[in-house]
Every structure is written in structure tokens, then in C-alpha cells.
Amino acid sequence: MTNLRIIPLGGFGEVGKNMTVIEYGNDAIVVDCGLMFPESDMLGIDLVIPDVTYLKDRPNLLKAFFLTHGHEDHIGALPYILPQVSAPLYATALTRGLIEVKLKEAKLLAKTKIKTITTDSIIEVGPFTIEPFHVPHSIPDAVGYAIYTPAGLVIHTGEFKFDPDPIDGRPPSIDRLRSYGDDGVLVMLSDSTNAERPGHTPSEQVVSQTFEEIFNEAQGRIIVSMFASNISRIQQVINTAVKHKRKVAMAGRSMVANVKMAMTLGYLNAPEGILIPVEEMEHYPNHEIALVCTGTQGEPTSALVRMANEDHRQVKIKASDTVVLSATAIPGNEELVHRTIDNLFRLGANVIYQSLRPVHVSGHGAQEEQKLMLELIRPQYFVPAQGEYRMLVLHGRHGQATGIDAKNIFIIENGQVVEFSETKGFRAELLEVSNVFIDGLGIGDIGSVVLRDRHMLSRDGFVVVVMALDRQTGKIVNGPDIVSRGFVYMREADDLLEEAKRRVIKLVSKGRMHPDAATSAIKDNLSQFLYQRTHRNPMIFPMVMET
């Protein structure tokens, strides 16, 4: 008797690095392989990726990766994970395009097998039959997956909203979703992002309308910032610009690359001659220019932030500019976003952001859309996915509201396996899965010890005391010298550090000491002394040599 197992490796109890294993017997597929940006206490960490120990320990288990859409938190970990566990990738054309850019950069493209799928595809992998279905999201070509298994049908919704009037002209396939429900669904994993938001997420047309108003009002240039992956939003700016006879330029490396790729694949449409290189902007009057760029999260190296800081090579902000931030701040980025808006205002620009006008709508369905999905699919079991813990809890409640029994709803976090036998679903083992940190070239070499040290150093810095003792007499032959950073301003702390040195000399002069004993005595003494004098706790490292 084989059980179906759902193994959450990322995105359950957190936002980001989405990755779910669907396992049956000796075969498994993975849905998504995303990365997460570090939380503020992950000091110096560049990225966080899922822990795939489970798959590495079972070398022949994984048969394929299925990607739902091209956002970083769904495909971004592929360059780091593929060298650890390899399998063919399945993705729609645009998602594939975005993946290929990444794999090329990582020199992994040649050795990776990728298959393009459409919403007409039926893919057989081991015991699984997989059908991608269309879902509207804030990037085109997003899909969910219907995964037929010997134990029953699994629905993974991907990330979705029920926008009846999306920019790409492809509304959600209500009938298809309902027909899965009619067939009978064992378990559904569904997008919990907006479980806190009542009602429906507004249609993208709301943003189109605001853009129309802004283009009507603006006398000077219009600069619209957004995520580089927000192809639909870029299309909206192009559409509005065409109507208002403005040229459109792009700024930001990722923006330029994505637009080029999306144009080539036909996901972005612009009439001949409307797009111009950013260098040519100055050849046109202000009122004939729209500029699309990155920087809505206040990222220090992004185009918009460079403009706000007056260090963008090609674009200087003018007092006649209208600047639009067409996104909301991801929690944790608020300070950087506010600083960027403030700096743009300081340069005299008219800044328009979500608090002032509806220049953004979420790519995720709100409560009523989550309930609609639940009502269409009518799963026997429900696993809220893709969200922080409170969102999973609330999404679970919405499931109950649509009639699912509380005992058939699994609020699980990364590592908590859920298993389905012929008769029931239940919580199986809890795997140990950790955050795998990327820092420079290191993958997973930074753990809690290094992070704790970074935290301590960031608060109070360090003090190193170096000294050489005579091996025979125990007398000081050199030093003590002190180096300190992040603790006090050295130039003004002479007295403090001189007194610290005198204490060290006095300690060591008491009699012959083993270097280890001296080290320990100095550390204790200086910790106490420096705390008493400053109420700070620098890390203290005495280094005592014998010569």
C-alpha cells in the first residue's frame, strides 16, 4: 500500500522560497523552486533558498520540477538547487524565458533539460499525470497544476487572482476549475497571501484608469517604477503612452533584459518606434517621455533610487517630473521606500504612490477569491500554502467557511509531511528543514553561530588586545596593542583605551601566567571594565603570544 505524501520544503509559514514535493512511492515531482530575500536579522545574507536534504538523501526520487510562474520566489533558487538535485524542468514559455536567463548566467543552461508546456499540455511523469491550468497573476503565463496521482487528484493553485479583465486578455478558466471539482479533488494547496484582505482584489483595469488620469495631468516627464517581472504593468504603461503620444524608455538592467525577452516571446506588444533607448530621452520634449524603471522597494542599486539620490548616470530628476511607484512596499522595506519617496519630493518631483492613488493592485486574490477557488475545487483536504503562519490560519478559516471540516484542513509549516492513505489524510513526520543562506559564493556555510556573531558585532563592535610575553620570565616584551572597531570612536576614546592597556599590564605583571590563563583573565577583566564605563558589550579577543 503506497501513500501519497506532500512535503513542504519552502513557503509554508513564510513568504518566499516556495517549494513543495509531491511524492508517491519511489517517484516525486517538485512544484516551484524559489528564493527568499533575507529578513532583517539575517545580517549580511544575500539570499535564502530551500533546504533540499530530503531530496539529496534520495538520489533517484525526484523526476521533475514544475514551475508555476516566473517570479523569483518561485524560480529563483534553481541555479543553486539544480547542482544539488537535478531533474528536467517544465514551464510555460515566458517562465522558461525567465529561467533561461538565470541558468545561462549560472552556466547551467546547457546541462539542464527544459520542456515548454501550455495549458493544453498533459504530462506523464512516473505515476503522475499533470495538467497545467491558466491562472491570472501579476505576471503573464502563470499556471496552477492538476496532478493526478494513484491516490487521487492534487490541485496546486500556484498564485492567482480572479481578475475578470486582466491586461493579457486571459480571464481565469472558471469552468475548467469547476470541472476538476466535479471530478473530485483529494487535496488542494492554495495561495494564502491575501488571506487577511476582505473582499476581492481590484482588477488591473483600476491601475490602467489611474495611469490614464496621471498621463492626462502630467505636464512633464512621467517615470513609472515597478517590479521588472511585472510584464502586464509594463504593457499598461506602453498602452497609455501610445494613446498620449509619449515614447517609452526603460531603465534598470533587469527591466531592459525582461522587456527584450518578453517582446521576443510575444508577451509584450509595442507599436514600431514607441520604445526608445534611455540615452535618447533628451532628444524629446518632457511631455513626450515616459520612463519605466525598477526601484519600488527602495533597493539601493536600483534605477529609481539612483535617480532619487542624484547619482543615476542618464536620468536627472526635474521638478516637472511625475514619478509613480507602481507597487507596495514588501514588509521590511518600508524605511527604504519612504526614504526614496522623500528624496524624490526633495528634488521637487510630484510623487504618486499607493497611499495617494490606486497605482497598484495585488497579484493575489483576496478572501472572496480564495473562497471562490475553494468552492470551485471542493477538495476533500485543504492545505493552505504560500504564506506566513497567520495567513495560513486565516486561509484555513476561509476553508471552513466553505464547508471543509476543520480536521481535514492542515495548517503546516516547512518540513511537516502530510500523508494520504487510501482511507485518510494525516500529519506524518516532521522533517528538519532549515534556511539555507547564500552569502557571496557560500551556499549554506553560514549558520546561526556566524549570524549571532554578526549581530553582536553590529551592536557593539569588537576589541582585540595583542601582546607578546617572554617565554622564560613571563614579562611583557611587546604590547599590549589594542585594535577596536564599531565600539567607540578611537580618536576620542584614548583615555578609555589607555586605561584598558594599564589594566592588562597590571594583570599580567602579577606573576608568570600561561598564555591561556592570561587570555581568559584579560577577557573577563576588560569585559567588566568596558561595560562599566560604557554600558556596551563589545566582543573581546585577547591574543597573547610567547616568544
The single residue among 3, 212, 274, 389 that binds a copy of itself, judged by CB under 8 A, is 389
Fill in the per-residue mask, 280 to 319: x = in contact with a copy of itself (CB under 8 A), - = not in contact.
----------------------------------------
Stretch that binds a copy of itself, among 83-91, 165-173, 256-264, 390-398 (CB under 8 A): 390-398
Closest to a copy of itself by CB, 68 vs 386, is: 386
Measured CA angle at 157 (ends 210, 406), to 5 deg: 110
Edge-to-edge strand list for the sheet holding 27-31: 114-116, 89-91, 62-66, 27-31, 19-24, 4-10, 416-420, 425-430
The single residue among 93, 372, 393, 521 that binds a copy of itself, judged by CB under 8 A, is 393
Closest to a copy of itself by CB, 152 vs 479, is: 479
Stretch that binds a copy of itself, among 62-70, 229-237, 265-273, 328-336 (CB under 8 A): 328-336
CA distance 293 to 314: 12
Using the rule CB under 8 A, is 477 a contact of a copy of itself?
yes
Using the rule CB under 8 A, is 347 a contact of a copy of itself?
no
Beta bridge partners of 324: 224, 352
Q: Where are the beta strands (DSSP E) in 174-254?
A: 187-191, 222-225, 247-251
The single residue among 39, 213, 288, 499 that binds a copy of itself, judged by CB under 8 A, is 39
Using the rule CB under 8 A, is 43 a contact of a copy of itself?
yes
Closest to a copy of itself by CB, 1 vs 441, is: 441
Edge-to-edge strand list for the sheet holding 123-125: 123-125, 128-134, 143-149, 152-156, 187-191, 381-385
What is the 3 state secondary structure string of 45-90?
Answer: CCEEECCCHHHHCCCCCEEEEECCCCCHHHHCCHHHHCCCCCCCEE
Stretch that binds a copy of itself, among 113-121, 238-246, 279-287, 331-339 (CB under 8 A): 331-339
Closest to a copy of itself by CB, 126 vs 202, is: 202
CA distance 253 to 302: 9
Nearest CA-CA partner of 95 in 132, 52, 129, 130: 132
Give the nearest distance from C-beta 478 to a copy of itself in angstroms: 4
CA distance 504 to 520: 11
Closest to a copy of itself by CB, 164 vs 331, is: 331
Q: Give backbone dihedrals phi and psi of 77, rounded to 5 degrees, phi first.
A: -90, -5
Nearest CA-CA partner of 538 in 479, 493, 491: 493
Closest to a copy of itself by CB, 266 vs 447, is: 447
Closest to a copy of itself by CB, 418 vs 540, is: 540
CA distance 540 to 246: 61
Using the rule CB under 8 A, is 335 a contact of a copy of itself?
yes
Using the rule CB under 8 A, is 341 a contact of a copy of itself?
yes
The single residue among 479, 497, 508, 522 that binds a copy of itself, judged by CB under 8 A, is 479
Measured CA angle at 197 (ends 162, 188), to 5 deg: 55
Using the rule CB under 8 A, is 168 a contact of a copy of itself?
no
Using the rule CB under 8 A, is 325 a contact of a copy of itself?
no
Using the rule CB under 8 A, is 487 a contact of a copy of itself?
yes
Stretch that binds a copy of itself, among 150-158, 314-322, 402-410, 481-489 (CB under 8 A): 481-489
Stretch that binds a copy of itself, among 41-49, 71-79, 202-210, 256-264 (CB under 8 A): 41-49
The single residue among 446, 504, 518, 522 that binds a copy of itself, judged by CB under 8 A, is 446
Show contacts with a copy of itself in window 488-517 (CB under 8 A): 488-489, 492-493
Block residue for cell numbers 564605563: 533
The single residue among 196, 212, 213, 368 that binds a copy of itself, judged by CB under 8 A, is 196
Show contacts with a copy of itself in window 349-388 (CB under 8 A): 351, 355-356, 388
Q: Where are the beta strands (DSSP E) in 187-276?
A: 187-191, 222-225, 247-251
Total number of residues that touch a copy of itself (CB under 8 A): 69
Contacts of residue 452, defined as CB under 8 A and 6 or more positions apart, other chains included, come to none
How many Å is the Cα radius of gyration of the chain? 28
Q: Angle, nearest 10°, between helix axes 367-377 and 389-401?
A: 60
Q: Angle, nearest 10°, between helix axes 231-243 and 253-264?
A: 80
Q: Which residues bind a copy of itself (CB under 8 A)?
A: 13, 39-41, 43-44, 196-197, 331-332, 334-335, 338, 341-343, 345-346, 351, 355-356, 388-390, 393-394, 439-442, 445-447, 449-450, 453-455, 457-462, 464, 466, 468, 477-479, 481, 483, 485-489, 492-493, 533-536, 539, 541, 543, 545-547
